[in-house]
């Protein structure tokens, strides 16, 4: 993987190829390895090294973008030539483009690069998987999942002097254990391999799976539910995708459009995009080199605003919030990079013991948006859905389909846990607590 | 390049049970226009090599964008290391179903190379189409064109040497009618990026985007003030575009043998079509015949050879309602003592081949469209997907569509918005009692099928004509 000095030299070297035109360069280098296991054996085991360098040329308010994946000098110079060529033939933008000026980047709140993670080997991963397999096999369960380790670098520069560089390591471990219809799921995300606790994960999986047996069928209807952080994170991610994108807000296609400043939710609901949150993996700048700071999305139940990419900000005269996506995704607008939901005052045990009749949801499957304006979502429960009766988790239930508006779901939240967990999101991770809501609609059921 | 790949094989051959090496180079051009203004014009070139080895019955795979000799040697050595690590958690030796050696060259037959059509012509097409949609409440319009040229070289220790060049062209337009608390969209010719095929630019010309723009915008406007779709149980007719996704989710995925064998359980899920059901399960009504056909002209899942060097072919999945076949790789076919039917596909050089759809086609029936709706007293015509979701065994599904039209006394009536329908896969296909004629049949390109870890997006096709389903639960999203 190339370091900061390589990229500084690279920019100096290719500058002349742009023939005095304004330019932006976004580069990402990736070295990832992933071991996949199913039915307690490793069935897929892969490694890749890849690179993307995107050259964007701005020529009299016309933009040409070319992406290559090689350091080969001919490929680089041809790529820049093609970008210049494109910038001559495409129509002008309908707003005035200007490059980002040089920025100050504060130090990240915590490191996200760990040598031990970067050097974790296929054998190391296999050894960890072996521990899980042995432990669950003793209880006659089979283990399946994926274990990824790797590192990434990101560099953004432009002809105005912007230069931003970051590197990070990654650990993604997700697993399911199964025996007939008894299943359990766990996911883990971090930069630091030392935080992966296979023994703890194995115990948690077995604890859930051993309770997730003899599932009973319940009828569709409106229920009080407690969402695990995994389930809550998925709901928040979808909300981030269709609700908080500044471009959709400006086009009148988001539930936020025209509602900034209005109190829609209980006071306990506070959601932000926060790279400084201690539980997240910080993304310090966006794909145009804008530094990222905490952005309030919903504060004490009041809608503040969404996140804005640089192009939408220029077009609609808004402030870029440091959420610009890679050039090939520019037309999408913006997404939150480090979604964080503020914790509440309860323990997850309190939440269960204070629920007379309800359902605990461990995980969702195949969530999709039904209606973007209300963020009505549909999806299935999976890998551990339980009935709560008189303050206790009593029985496992068969999987159900839900049709729920996130707006209504958040309006119905009356308990939030102190404890929060970090889960994978669409761009960066999502930090989410347990949530109890009184307004959750199951629309149909399954046979398992 | 082929010589370099064969040199890697020479190094790997004595160290492995089996090895294959794939070089893939992809040129992509993506043009997006919003409200008559170009919003992005991105071109990219991507290339690299993937090396897959089977050592003592365990897989290893390593891939690199660096094509220098030393780097490729390191990548090959990495694949060997990985295979050794895989063996630490192993149950039995992986074996492959046999395949004949092939020395071959395949090129997609096209009339107009999309990369040789001027940028100005492509941009102008989208500008005109999207400008003409901006009427009444249509405040936002989008147009997209996308082209791929993928050059692949595959060599294996079994002696195959296969070179392929696959062209893809696709695109579409979308109109958004935006109100105070709601917006409605209409897409043409299909939703989520339009329609795509292994044809040249002639495919784009046949779409007639400009000619359909105003009609689509009119429907979006109409939808904005339309009533919500009714709730209840009624007969429905699905248009070809929506039926393509229905086939995709409720047949294409559950017949993937790797899912059935539990290899995708931790991510995408399993399948209700368990091994005991093969040739022993009624999947749908007698009119329902579904094939996997990677040879169908123009299908987005059409190619010469899959990424294990197995020739493209047509095989039956459901025959006259009976479940008769899976989509298979060589490894999975071996477990059933069968041969692969050429369905192992990799997204790119940096991904391993997985069991993937090719063109999963519902064969046409014998009804005119008027006959399909003709004996429905009260029902809905639904088309153009808006949302999809299905459980992890592919049984309980729910789809919503952009467009719903009332069917009353055998005639199409008023327009409804936010229609949703739900069902259980085999019950749904058993309720199918009419399929449109060949003249309505079209292979829809679906360029966004996701599977695997690390994720792979596959381009697949689905041949459908409109079809009728009885007593389906319908409703409306809020």
- Tell me which of B51, B65, B417, B476 to substitute to probe the interface with A (most A C-beta atoms closer than 10 Å): B65
Q: CA B407 to CA A352: how far, in whole Å?
A: 48
Across the interface, which of B140, B266, B398 has its CB nearest the CB of A38?
A: B266
- Tell me which of A42, A185, A365 to substitute to probe the interface with B (most B C-beta atoms closer than 10 Å): A42
Contact B46 A65 (CB under 8 A): no
DSSP class of B417: B
Q: Which run of H or E residues covers position B202?
A: helix B202-207
- Residue pair A319/A308 in contact by the 8 Å Cβ criterion: yes
Question: How many CB contacts within 8 angstroms connect chain A with chain B?
Answer: 258
Contact B139 A251 (CB under 8 A): yes
Name chain B contacts of A69, Cβ cutoff 8 Å: 45-48, 65
Query: How close is the nearest chain A Cα to the Cα of B60, in Å?
Result: 5
Exposure of A204 in the CB half-sphere (CA atoms within 13 A): 14
Average pLDDT, chain A: 96
Across the interface, which of B48, B85, B266 has its CB nearest the CB of A123?
A: B85
Note the pLDDT tens digit of each residue in B346-358. 999 999 999 999 9
Q: CA B147 to CA B30: how far, in whole Å?
A: 7
Note the pLDDT tens digit of each residue in A155-208. 999 999 999 999 999 999 999 999 999 999 999 999 999 999 999 999 999 999
Query: How close is the nearest chain A Cα to the Cα of B367, in Å?
Result: 32
ipTM over 0.90: yes
Q: CA A360 to CA A393: how far, in whole Å?
A: 8
Name chain B contacts of A86, Cβ cutoff 8 Å: 41, 43, 119
pLDDT score of B126: 98
pLDDT at residue A257 greater than cutoff 90: yes
Q: Which residue on chain B is closest to A371 by alpha carbon?
A: B477
Residues sharing a CB contact under 8 Å with residue B211, sequence separation 6 or more, in sequence order: none
- Tell me which of B57, B82, B329 to substitute to probe the interface with A (most A C-beta atoms closer than 10 Å): B82
Beta strands in B117-255 (DSSP E): 138-156, 161-178, 183-188, 195-197, 232-238
Name chain B contacts of A37, Cβ cutoff 8 Å: 89
Note the pLDDT tens digit of each residue in B381-439. 999 999 999 999 999 999 999 999 999 999 999 999 999 999 999 999 999 999 999 99
Average pLDDT over residues B245-270: 97
Which residue bears the tokens 């996200």? A112
Name chain A contacts of B85, Cβ cutoff 8 Å: 35, 42, 45, 121-123, 125-126
- Residue pair A168/A152 in contact by the 8 Å Cβ criterion: yes
Q: CA A60 to CA B273: how far, in whole Å?
A: 58
Contact B42 A327 (CB under 8 A): yes
pLDDT score of A106: 85
User: Helix or strand or coil: residue B285?
Assistant: coil
Name chain A contacts of B90, Cβ cutoff 8 Å: 41-42
Query: How close is the nearest chain A Cα to the Cα of B472, in Å?
Result: 13
Note the pLDDT tens digit of each residue in B81-124. 999 999 999 999 999 999 999 999 999 999 999 999 999 999 99
- Residue pair B220/B186 in contact by the 8 Å Cβ criterion: yes
- Tell me which of A369, A380, A402 to substitute to probe the interface with B (most B C-beta atoms closer than 10 Å): A380
Across the interface, which of B38, B63, B396 has its CB nearest the CB of A444?
A: B396
**Sheet hosting strand B290-293, strand order edge to edge:** B322-323, B314-319, B290-293, B360-362
Note the pLDDT tens digit of each residue in A84-129. 999 999 999 988 999 999 999 988 777 899 999 999 999 999 999 9
- Residue pair A18/A80 in contact by the 8 Å Cβ criterion: yes
Q: Long-range pairs for A10-18 at CB < 8 Å and ≥24 separation?
A: A11/A157, A11/A163, A14/A76, A14/A77, A14/A80, A15/A159, A17/A76, A17/A77, A17/A80, A17/A81, A18/A57, A18/A80, A18/A84, A18/A159
Name chain A contacts of B59, Cβ cutoff 8 Å: 42-45
Contact A146 B267 (CB under 8 A): yes
Contact A46 B62 (CB under 8 A): yes
pLDDT at residue A445 greater than cutoff 90: no
Q: Which residue(s) pair with A226 in the sheet?
A: A360, A436
Contact A49 B37 (CB under 8 A): no
DSSP letters along A341-384, please?
E---SB-HHHHHHT-SEEEEE--EEEEEEEETTTTEEEEEE-S-
Across the interface, which of B86, B265, B477 has its CB nearest the CB of A371?
A: B477
Name chain A contacts of B266, Cβ cutoff 8 Å: 36, 38, 144-146, 174-176, 185
pLDDT score of A176: 97
pLDDT score of B277: 98
Contact A44 B47 (CB under 8 A): no
Which residue bears the tokens 């076949």? B325
Contact B392 A376 (CB under 8 A): no
Note the pLDDT tens digit of each residue in B310-336. 999 999 999 999 999 999 999 999 999
Contact A50 B350 (CB under 8 A): yes
Contact B119 A89 (CB under 8 A): yes
Contact A380 B389 (CB under 8 A): yes
Name chain A contacts of B264, Cβ cutoff 8 Å: 38
Name chain A contacts of B92, Cβ cutoff 8 Å: 41
pTM of the model: 0.96
Query: How close is the nearest chain A Cα to the Cα of B366, in Å?
Result: 34
Higher pLDDT, A340 or A327: A340
Contact A43 B41 (CB under 8 A): no
DSSP letters along A298-333, please?
EETTEE---B--HHHHHHHT----S-BPPGGGGGG-
Q: Which residue on chain B is closest to A251 by alpha carbon?
A: B140
pLDDT score of A447: 81
Name chain A contacts of B454, Cβ cutoff 8 Å: 32, 34, 46, 48, 148
pLDDT band at residue A446 using 50, 70 and 90 as cut-offs = confident
Contact A331 B388 (CB under 8 A): no
Q: CA A46 to CA A31: how far, in whole Å?
A: 11
β-pairing, B467-476 vs B432-435, is antiparallel
The angle that helices B2-12 and B69-86 make with each other, rounded to 10 degrees, is 40
Note the pLDDT tens digit of each residue in A277-287. 999 999 999 99
Residue B22 — φ and ψ, nearest 5°? -125, 130
pLDDT score of B254: 98
């Amino acid at each position: 993987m190339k370091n900061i000095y390589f990229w500084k030299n690279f920019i100096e070297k290719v500058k002349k190829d742009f023939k005095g035109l304004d330019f932006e360069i976004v580069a990402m280098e990736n070295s990832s390895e992933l071991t996949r296991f199913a039915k307690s054996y490793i069935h897929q085991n892969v490694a890749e090294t890849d690179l993307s360098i995107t050259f964007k040329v701005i020529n009299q308010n016309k933009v040409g973008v070319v992406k290559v994946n090689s350091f080969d000098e001919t490929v680089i110079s041809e790529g820049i030539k093609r970008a210049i060529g494109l910038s001559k033939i495409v129509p002008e933008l309908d707003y005035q483009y200007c490059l980002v000026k040089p920025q100050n980047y504060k130090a990240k709140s915590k490191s996200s690069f760990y040598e031990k993670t970067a050097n974790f080997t296929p054998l190391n991963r296999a050894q960890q998987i072996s521990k899980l397999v042995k432990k669950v096999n003793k209880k006659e369960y089979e283990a399946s999942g994926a274990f990824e380790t790797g590192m990434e670098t990101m560099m953004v520069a432009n002809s105005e002097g912007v230069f931003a560089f970051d590197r990070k390591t990654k650990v993604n471990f997700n697993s399911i254990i199964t025996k007939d219809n008894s299943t359990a799921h766990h996911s883990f995300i971090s930069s630091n391999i030392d935080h992966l606790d296979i023994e703890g994960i194995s115990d948690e999986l077995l604890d859930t799976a051993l309770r997730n047996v003899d599932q009973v069928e319940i009828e569709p209807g409106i229920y009080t539910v407690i969402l695990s952080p995994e389930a809550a994170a998925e709901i928040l991610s979808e909300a981030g995708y269709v609700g908080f994108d500044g471009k959709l807000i400006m086009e009148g296609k988001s539930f936020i459009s025209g509602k900034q400043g209005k109190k829609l939710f209980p006071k306990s609901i506070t959601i932000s995009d926060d790279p400084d949150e201690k539980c997240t993996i910080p993304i310090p700048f966006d794909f145009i080199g804008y530094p990222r700071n905490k952005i309030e999305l919903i504060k004490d139940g009041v809608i503040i605003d969404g996140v804005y990419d640089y192009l939408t900000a220029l077009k609609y005269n808004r402030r870029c919030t440091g959420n610009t996506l890679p050039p090939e995704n520019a037309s999408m607008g913006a997404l939150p990079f480090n979604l964080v939901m503020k914790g509440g005052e309860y323990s997850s045990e309190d939440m269960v013991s204070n629920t007379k009749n309800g359902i605990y949801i461990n995980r969702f499957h195949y969530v999709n948006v039904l209606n973007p304006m209300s963020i009505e979502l549909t999806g299935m429960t999976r890998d551990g859905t339980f009935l709560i009766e008189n303050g206790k988790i009593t029985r496992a239930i068969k999987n159900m389909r839900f049709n729920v508006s996130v707006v209504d779901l958040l309006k119905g939240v009356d308990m939030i846990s102190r404890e929060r967990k970090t889960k994978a999101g669409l761009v960066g991770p999502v930090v989410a607590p347990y949530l109890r809501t009184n307004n959750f609609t199951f629309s149909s059921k399954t046979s398992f | 390049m082929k010589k370099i790949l064969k040199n890697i094989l020479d190094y790997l051959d004595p160290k492995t049970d089996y090895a294959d090496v794939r070089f893939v180079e992809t040129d992509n051009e993506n043009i997006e226009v919003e409200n008559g203004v170009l919003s992005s014009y991105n071109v990219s070139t991507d290339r690299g090599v993937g090396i897959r080895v089977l050592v003592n019955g365990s897989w290893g795979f390593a891939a690199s964008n660096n094509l220098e000799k030393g780097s490729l040697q390191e990548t090959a050595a990495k694949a060997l290391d990985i295979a050794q690590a895989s063996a630490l958690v192993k149950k039995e030796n992986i074996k492959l179903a046999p395949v004949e050696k092939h020395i071959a060259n395949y090129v997609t037959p096209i009339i107009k190379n999309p990369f040789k059509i001027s940028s100005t012509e492509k941009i102008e097409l989208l500008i005109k189409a999207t400008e003409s949609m901006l009427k009444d409440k249509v405040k936002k319009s989008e147009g997209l064109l996308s082209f791929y040229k993928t050059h692949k070289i595959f060599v294996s220790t079994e002696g195959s040497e296969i070179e392929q060049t696959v062209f893809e062209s696709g695109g579409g337009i979308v109109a958004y009618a935006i109100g105070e608390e709601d917006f409605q969209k209409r897409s043409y010719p299909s939703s989520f990026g339009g329609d795509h095929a292994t044809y040249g630019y002639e495919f784009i010309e046949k779409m007639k985007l400009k000619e359909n723009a105003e009609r689509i915008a009119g429907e979006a406007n109409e939808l904005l003030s339309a009533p919500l779709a009714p709730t209840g149980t009624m007969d429905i007719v699905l248009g070809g575009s929506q039926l393509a996704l229905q086939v995709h989710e409720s047949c294409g995925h559950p017949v993937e043998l790797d899912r059935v064998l539990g290899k995708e359980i931790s991510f995408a899920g399993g399948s209700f079509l368990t091994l005991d059901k093969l040739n022993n399960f009624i999947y749908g009504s007698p009119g329902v015949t579904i094939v996997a056909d990677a040879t169908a002209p123009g299908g987005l899942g059409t190619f010469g050879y899959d990424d294990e060097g197995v020739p493209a072919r047509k095989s039956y999945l459901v025959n006259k309602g009976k479940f008769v076949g899976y989509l298979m790789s060589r490894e999975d076919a071996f477990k059933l003592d069968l041969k692969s039917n050429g369905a192992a596909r990799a997204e790119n050089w940096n991904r391993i081949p997985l069991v993937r759809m090719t063109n999963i086609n519902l064969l046409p029936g014998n009804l005119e469209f008027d006959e399909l709706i003709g004996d429905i007293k009260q029902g809905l015509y639904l088309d153009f997907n808006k949302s999809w979701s299905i459980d992890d065994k592919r049984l309980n599904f729910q789809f919503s569509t952009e467009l719903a039209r009332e069917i009353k006394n055998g005639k199409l009536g008023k327009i409804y918005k936010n229609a949703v329908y739900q069902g259980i896969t085999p019950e749904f296909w058993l309720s199918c009692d009419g399929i449109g004629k060949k003249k309505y049949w079209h292979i829809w390109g679906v360029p966004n099928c996701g599977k695997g870890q690390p994720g792979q997006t596959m381009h697949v096709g689905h041949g459908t004509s409109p079809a009728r389903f009885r007593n389906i639960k319908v409703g409306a999203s809020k």
